[in-house]
Amino acid sequence: MAAEELPSEFDVVILGTGLVESVVAAACSRVGQRVLHLDRRSYYAANWASFTFNGLLTWIQQHHEESQSEEVQDRSSLLEEGEELIYLCNSDSASISNLQVFCYTRETHEEEEEEAPTPDPDPADTTEVETSADGDNGVKETSETVSADSKEKETKDEASDEKEEEQSQAPHTDGEEPETAQPQPPTAPSQSEPVRKKISYTHLVKEGRRFNIDLVSKLMFSRGSLVDLLIKSNVSRYAEFKNITRILTYRNGNTEQVPCSRADVFASRQLSVVEKRKLMRFLTSCVEETEEQQVYNGRPYLEFLRDQHLGDNLQHFLLHSIAMVTEDTPTEVGLTSTRHFLRSLGRYGNTPFLFPVYGLGEIPQCFCRMCAVFGGIYCLRHSVQCLLVDKNTNRCKGVIDSRGQRISCSHFVVEDGFVSAERKKVATPPRSISRAVLITDASILPSDSDQQVSMVTVPPIAAGSPSVTMVELCSATMTCAPGTYLVHLTCQSVGSAHEDLSPVVTRMFHTSESHDQDERPSVLWCLYFNMADGSAAQVEGHDLPSNVHMCSGPDGGLGHEHAITQAQSIFDKILPQEDFCPPAPNPEDIIYTEEETKKEGVEEEEEKETTKEGEEEEEEKTNEEEKETKKEKEEEEEETKPLKEEHKAIQPEELWRAEVLDLLTQLVLVQKEAAQHQAQVVQLLGMLGTQNSQQIQDLQNMGRHQSLLVENHQALLLQTSRIANHLHDITKKPAAASQ
Amino acid sequence: MHGRLKVKSTAQQEEQKRQEREKKLKIFVAVRDACFSKRKEGIWDDEALKLTQQVLSSNPDFATLWNYRKEILMHQETVKEKDEVQTIYGAELSFLESCLQTNPKSYGSWYHRGWVSSRMPKPDWARELTLCDRCLSLDERNFHCWDYRRMVVKMSGVSVDQELAFTDRLIGSNFSNYSSWHYRSTLLPLLHPESPEPPSPCLKPAQTSPPPSPQTHSHRVCEEQLLKEYELVQNAFFTDPNDQSAWFYYRWLLGRAEREDMISCVYVSRDEERVAVAFSRPVNAQSVGLLLVLDGQPQRVEWRSVHPRFKHSPLWICDLPPGTISDISYEHNLTVHWTEKHIHRDCALYTGRTESYCRDSAMDQELFRSELSVEKTSVLQSELQSCNQLQELEPLNKWCSLTIILLMRALDPLGYEKEMLAHFQTLREVDSMRSAYYSDLCSKFMIENTILKMEYAEVRVFSISDKNLTTLCHLDQLLLVTHINLSSNQLQRLPPQFAMLQCLEVLEADNNSIENLEGLYHLPKLEEVLLKNNKISTLADLQPLASCPKLKRLDLRGNPVTQIANVESELAELLPAVKDLLL
């Protein structure tokens, strides 16, 4: 492996592109550290990622397959005097377990096969629904088999690592089931209820790109640390956000709206005027700490609420939906989370939560972008194999990457999945999060608008079962296809995800497992899995060199507090003197003087070349570099989506890709030269003196534009490399693509 | 050097900004001048439109240029085809939209928009409504937009119930919005007018003949709707009792009908040969066509208010020509016509009587209570209950206490007197910044109650001592009072209105803080003034007393004025008629 692929010296090397790692990367890069940010995966954001429907299917498949750990190559030849190696593990699949997929919709619609694949409901479908009269039983059987099947798998998984079996499960669930699965026909089609068109599996796949399915389900508290950080650092400009429009709760078999803002309370029909007053008064009074509250320290929050004479309605709302705690949570904790909720209320709307358009996976990527803008270098599909540790100081001197290149660094930040279990200190027993992702055909609580974004709290439905947080996203959040809703369920695991969450799903949704016909939304497709709880891992106390910092994966909380606090504490350890993510300057305030352009230009060029060569030489790896200003970012954003889509369709050609890369590289070089010439011209003109000042100013502007143009081309280059990435995906998995 | 970006220093930034500003200014001034010179030359071409657009888009508050634009557009109207005009106006509207984006509160832009919309051959009102709604969703309190919207609604004839639904929506999203509540108060009477009940005879003053004018009830709402509104507004003030907007709307809902115009009292005195006329509201007698007919003969008299300071007054007096009624053996019939309102009132002065008056007997019903049907009274009772409920939850909420007081006043002013005083006490404590206001309001209510008591007792003695009065009001109601006792209050002055007590003979005002006697002005019958322990400090303050011809007895003990040297002789000079002077 050629050593010139990457610069061999960085200040900080970061492995893993999860939220914590990305924030650390952005923070370090922002204050001038040389950052190399790597991820073994082909996508950003690790377990924080969002996938298209098809992307998610691939991810599921990968997790079923992911077994053969790559052979660990011996790198001891690269050791120098007084060094030792710490090998990182290459598989992070341990964080995901108990994957189960269920499909409750027919693979295709008979009519749809012929007709144009429009998502609009066509009346012809009603006939289709009527024809399959005894489909109900069929589905019932299927799903039973599947669940039984998967339970078997689970037990096997627990017993041993029978990877082949697990592999076979994915095609089994994905492929076999739709054949037998039938759409839900109303056994007694009622006249009053309009027949809901059932969306077919093919349709989901066809519309798959419209989905952005998050692996974690979180919301951003409007005054939470993530929002504060996004604002403070100006990273917020890279993304758009939507308000959660309503907060719901599941109670006595009904889904009700929780009045939490003033307008909600005013409009609520469930509450009497006296209850309204009591609720408002409680909400206002608990913002401040009082002696009365302190008396209840250590006693359950529910007891405190009871003693406030609030009534059952209000107690339920306050405990489950506003504090979002359980009945035995101590009062001080309950009050703290109530306050956290209330503080965030009213900043951006009637609820305290925001959600990023295009999904949560955008957030880590925004921070990566920020890092790249300030010079960070990005390589996906590129990992670190081992750490070089100075025996005397027990500090990490550098790393050896997956290509065997030795890269020195003063700090190494790593996602915990890459650290072998014996070196980690984790809470025992290991905690995990149960997750379910449902694609449904209707909202859990229909209202005037079909574009509601709802947060639903579901208190434990039976003793010992967990309380579940549910987020229902509509197509306006750009996370699901029009006509569908994306529902995320999350809880702290008690059993497997399916055990924990399917009771809630069957109660609140119409699945083929339930017999009764009602107006509950139908589940079209769903996924259950468990994910390791990031809050179980600890920052301190690992058997690692002192300058190696471990980042945990997503935690089970609703907000991002855990991740942001961790990122900041890691940053403070690396650079105790520096400001954490100071505001990025406005693009127009950045100086592009002639000398700077020249100097920086050369430097960048070098970096570019190294990265590019890397790509060309070894085409399995793709290096990305981002160097953008806000303007380019905007332009790019417009381009991103269509470009991706367009090129996905084209049959991949390695040659063509290489050609395009070459051409673009040349273009960038040419533009750079042009910019340099312009800058020289400007310099000359500048010496002509004041009588030509107007002209000079114009030319300076031109120079600036030129350099912007150069930057644009760099952005374009980045685009291309991304496209290349996708193309690569497609070539590698023709099977997946054709599906 | 890696990755460190060069960022401009603030000085550089400022310099650059300054240069940009200067450049902008230069362009702005040039274009503005071009516009002005074009206007001077009377050129109304497309180029002028473009130039003004350039200036206005950066400064939409340039009224002159908007006017120039109007001239140009009006000119275009005359020379172009109708379709073309429509297009021009359409373009104008979209230009205005961009102006409103720069400054959503620009008077000029909103006004111009209104002008354009009204001149457009085929205005698209639906679009304008959407624009308003969008604007209001961004800022629900933008009154420019509210104004414009009212115009659009009027022009396009949006139905009233649609508009009511619109206020429902705005109030639903944020009820702290005076505009919406107020709009509601104008819509409801249109949509649910109060059914014109036949006025119950017992409540009606017997002597007012003309039917109630249609305006009197125009802002009332039918009871059924009223109940719904009570519920809505209760939701609001139970949710946030500290928000005033809902309380003010509630007060409007509870409001009573305006008093009818009428002559409430005619008083005639034989000794002074004087007539006093009281009206239900302050008027200017010189301009309302007041006519005095004595024994069938119209009299030429000069009406004057009781104090030269009043141009409008509820009480007017006139002197009859000397000798017309002075003979005690004659009976006289007086009629006062308020010709403007077709209202008149008769008064007979019988033989052997020195004075006579004619007035409304059911004053209490008329003045200090709302005209309530039985149903409404029960509604108010339940309103009072829910307010009391809120009061229990929020004992310190001033709006609630104040509303309770008003409800109690409406229901039974005398019965709730004690509770009312207690609520005023709380109000003064919880809202100490406005304690003086509450004291004044309390004084007003106490005076009303005392008037009622006096009415019931059918006496001409008004006694309100030791009630912490801080101010005097309703003095026009005390025209006939002969004896007034204001002792042991906190009064600081006898205001000019005090001169309305035309029959007053004895004034007791001991133990107050009175500094000013302005109101003791030309009181024809005043004989005795007791001002022990007040704060009269100069002889000039006593000056008004000199205008009271019959003043005999004056008690000034305990006033700073008594400390002045020679006070006795000075007073003798100032008030020669006073025989009984206590210092």
Q: What is the mean pLDDT of chain A?
A: 77
Among B467, B428, B463, B426, which Cα is nearest to B446's? B467
Does residue B317 belong to the interface with chain A, where contact is any CB pair within 8 Å? no
Q: Can you give the pLDDT at residue A677?
A: 81
Q: Which residues of B touch A276 (CB under 8 A)?
A: 235, 238-239
Residues A83 and A105 reside in one and the same domain: no
Distance CA B554, CA B574 (A): 13
Half-sphere exposure of B378 (CA within 13 A, CB side): 3
CB A1, CB A404: distance < 8 Å = yes
**Is residue A608 classed as helix, strand or coil in its secondary structure?**
helix
Whole-angstrom distance, CA of residue B516 vs CA of residue B520: 9
Q: Please tell me what DSSP assigns to residue A510.
A: B
- Spatial CB neighbours of A86, under 8 Å, sequence gap ≥ 6: A386, A387, A389, A396, A423, A544, A545
Specify whether A416 is located in the same domain as A491.
Answer: no
**Distance (Å, rounded) from C-alpha A349 to C-alpha A246?**
10
Instruction: Give the residues across from A220 on adjacent strands.
Output: A354
User: Residue B238 and residue A589: Cβ atoms within 8 Å?
Assistant: no
Chain A residue at shortest CA distance from B170: A263
Given a contact cutoff of 8 angstroms between Cβ atoms, the answer to whether A242 and A354 are in contact is: yes
The reply to whether A249 falls in a domain is no
pLDDT at residue A651, as a whole number: 44
* Interface contact B239-A280, CB threshold 8 A: yes
Q: Which pLDDT score is estimated for B4?
A: 52
Residues B430 and B468 in one domain: no
Tell me, yes or no, whether B20 and B146 share the same domain: yes
Q: Which of A456, A485, A461, A474 is nearest to A558 (CA)?
A: A456
Question: Shortest CB distance from B8 goes to which of A34, A376, A589?
Answer: A589
A236 within some domain: no
CATH number at residue B250: 1.25.40
Give the span between the Cα atoms of A619 and B324, in whole angstroms: 124
CATH number at residue B163: 1.25.40.120
pLDDT, position B258: 64
The pLDDT of residue A159 is above 60 = no
Q: Whole-prediction pTM value?
A: 0.70
B37 plus B136 within the same structural domain: yes
What CATH number is associated with residue A203?
A: 3.30.519.10
Whether A5 maps to a domain, the answer reads: no
Do B230 and B309 reside in the same domain of the chain?
Answer: no
pLDDT of residue A50: 95
pLDDT at A606: 40
CA angle A233, A237, A243 (to 5 degrees): 105
- Of the candidates B5, B175, B239, the beta carbon closest to that of A585 is on B5
| Predicted local confidence at residue B300, as pLDDT | 86
Question: Is B281 inside a domain boundary?
Answer: yes
Q: Among residues A337, A353, A369, which one ends one of the domains?
A: A353
In a domain, B200, yes or no: no
Across the interface, of B7, B238, B390, the residue whose CB is closest to A589 is B7
Residue A477 has pLDDT above 90, yes or no: yes
B383/B354 same-domain check: no
A175 and A90 share a domain?
Answer: no
Instruction: Quote the CA–CA distance of A676 and A655 in Å, as a whole number.
Output: 31
Classify burial at B4, counting beta carbons within 10 Å of its beta carbon; exposed 0-12, middle 13-18, buried 19 or more: exposed
pLDDT at residue B296, rounded to an integer:
87
Q: Are A224 and A561 in contact (CB under 8 A)?
A: yes
A263–B393 C-beta distance less than 8 A: no
On the question of pLDDT at A164 being above 50, the answer is no
Instruction: Give yes or no for a contact between B538 and B563, defined as CB atoms under 8 angstroms apart.
Output: no
Question: Which pLDDT does position A166 carry in this prediction?
Answer: 40
The reply to whether residue A603 touches residue B390, judged by beta carbons under 8 angstroms, is: no
- Torsion sign (Cα): A103, A108, A110, A112: positive
State how far residue B389 is from chain A, nearest Cα, in angstroms.
8
Interface residue B386 vs chain A (CB under 8 A): yes
Residue-number span of the structural domain to which B274 is assigned: 263-360
Examine the fold and report which residue of A353, A369, A386 is the final residue of a domain before the chain moves on. Answer: A353
* Number of domains comprising chain B: 4
Q: Which of B174, B189, B212 is the last residue of a domain?
A: B174
> Is the Cβ of B123 closer than 8 Å to some Cβ of chain A?
no
- The answer to whether residue A408 is domain-embedded is yes
Task: Say whether both B417 and B346 belong to one domain.
Answer: no
pLDDT digits (tens, 9 = 90+) for A248-278: 999 888 899 998 888 888 888 888 888 899 8
On the CB side of B76, how many CA atoms lie within 13 Å of its CA?
25
- Chain B residues in contact with A309 by the CB 8 A cut-off are none
Task: Please identify, among B320, B345, B360, the residue that sits at the C-terminal boundary of a domain.
Answer: B360
Q: What's the mean pLDDT in A444-459?
A: 91
- Per residue in B299-356, pLDDT tens? 888 899 999 899 999 999 999 988 888 888 889 999 999 888 888 899 999 998 889 9
- Domain boundaries, position A717: 592-738
User: At which of A353, A381, A406 does a domain end?
Assistant: A353
Q: Are residues A101 and A206 in the same domain?
A: yes
Given a cut of 70, whether residue A154 has pLDDT beyond it is no
Closest-CA distance of chain A to residue B74, Å: 42
pLDDT at A127: 34
ipTM of this complex prediction, to 2 decimal places: 0.74
- Domain match, A26 and A63 both: yes
Out of B117, B142, B174, a domain closes at B174
CATH of residue A66: 3.50.50.60
In a domain, B449, yes or no: no
A135 pLDDT more than 60: no
Using the Cβ of A448 and the Cβ atoms of chain B, whether some distance falls under 8 Å is answered with no
Does A107 fall in a domain?
Answer: yes
Tens-digit pLDDT profile for residues A189-248 = 344 444 456 788 889 999 999 999 999 999 999 999 999 999 999 899 899 999 999 999
Model confidence pLDDT, tens digit, residues A95-105: 888 999 999 88
**What CA–CA distance (Å, rounded) separates B263 from B550?**
29
Structural contact between residues A146 and A528, judged by C-beta atoms closer than 8 angstroms: no
Residue A146 · residue A173 · CB < 8 Å = yes
Over 70: is that where the pLDDT of A628 sits? no
Indicate whether A266 and A329 sit together in one domain.
Answer: yes
For residue A266, the chain B residues in CB contact (below 8 A) are 172, 175, 235-236, 239-240
One domain for residues B142 and B19: yes
Query: Which residues of chain B have a pLDDT value below 70?
Result: 1-8, 194-220, 256-258, 361-376
Asked whether the beta carbons of A72 and A401 are under 8 A apart, the reply is no
Q: Do B335 and B399 have their domain in common?
A: no
Is residue B194 situated within a structural domain?
Answer: no
Residues of B within 8 A of A585 (CB-CB) are: 5, 7-8
Phi-psi domain of A309 (left: phi exceeds 0; alpha: psi -120 through 50; beta: other)? left
pLDDT for A179 beyond 70: no
Q: Are residues B534 and B500 in the same domain?
A: yes
Beta-carbon contacts of B170 under 8 Å, excluding residues fewer than 6 positions away, are B136, B140, B177, B179, B180
Give me A120's structure tokens. Answer: 């609009």
- Find the CATH number of the domain harbouring A280: 1.10.405.10
Given this model, what pLDDT does residue B6 score? 62
Q: How far is A436 from chain B (nearest CA, A)?
A: 34
Q: Who wins on pLDDT, A643 or A521?
A: A521
Residue A583, in any domain of the structure: no
Residue B108 resides in a domain? yes
pLDDT at residue A624 is higher than 70: no
Name chain B contacts of A603, Cβ cutoff 8 Å: 1-2
Residues above pLDDT 70, as percent of chain A: 72
Q: What are the structure tokens assigned to A650, written together? A: 């084209």
| A246 lies in some domain | no
Residues of A in contact with B175 (CB under 8 A): 262-263, 266
Cβ A530 vs Cβ A493: under 8 Å: yes
pLDDT of residue A398: 92
Same domain, A171 and A144: yes
pLDDT at B419: 94
B interface mutation test: which of A34, A589, A596 has the most B CBs within 10 A? A589
A730 and A687, same domain (yes or no):
yes
B381 and B317 share one domain: no
- pLDDT band for A538, please (50, 70, 90 cuts): low
Higher pLDDT, A634 or B118: B118
pLDDT at A190: 40
Q: Is A698 on the interface with B (CB under 8 A)?
A: no
pLDDT score, position A60: 92
Q: Among B68, B75, B63, which Cα is nearest to B51's?
A: B68
β-strand pairing of B263-269 with A454-458? unpaired
Can you tell me the distance from the alpha carbon of A674 to that of A662, in angstroms, rounded to the nearest whole number?
18
In a 10 Å sphere around its CB, with 0-12 CB exposed, 13-18 middle and 19+ buried, how is residue B54 labelled? middle
Asked whether residue A619 falls in the same domain as residue A732, the answer is yes
- Whether pLDDT at A368 is above 60: yes
Please indicate, yes or no, if residue A233 is contained in any of the structural domains.
no
Q: Is position B239 within any domain?
A: yes
Shared domain check, B371 and B355: no
Q: How many domains does chain A have?
A: 4
When scoring A264, A271, A277 by the number of chain B Cβ atoms within 10 A, the one with the most, hence best to mutate, is: A277
* Together in a domain, A627 and A728: yes
Cα A699 from Cα A679, distance rounded (Å) = 9
Specify the pLDDT at position A564.
94
> What pLDDT shows up at residue A69?
55
Contact A277 B394 (CB under 8 A): yes
CA dihedral A677, A682, A687, A688 (to 10 degrees): 110
A196 and A117, same domain (yes or no): yes
What confidence score (pLDDT) does residue A2 get?
43
Residue B11, chain A, CB below 8 Å: the answer is no
Eight-state DSSP code of residue A176:
I
Percent above pLDDT 90 for chain A:
35
Q: Is residue B279 part of a domain?
A: yes
- Residues A599 and A475 grouped into a single domain: no
Same domain membership, residue B415 and residue B463? no
Residue B338's CATH number: 2.60.40.1130
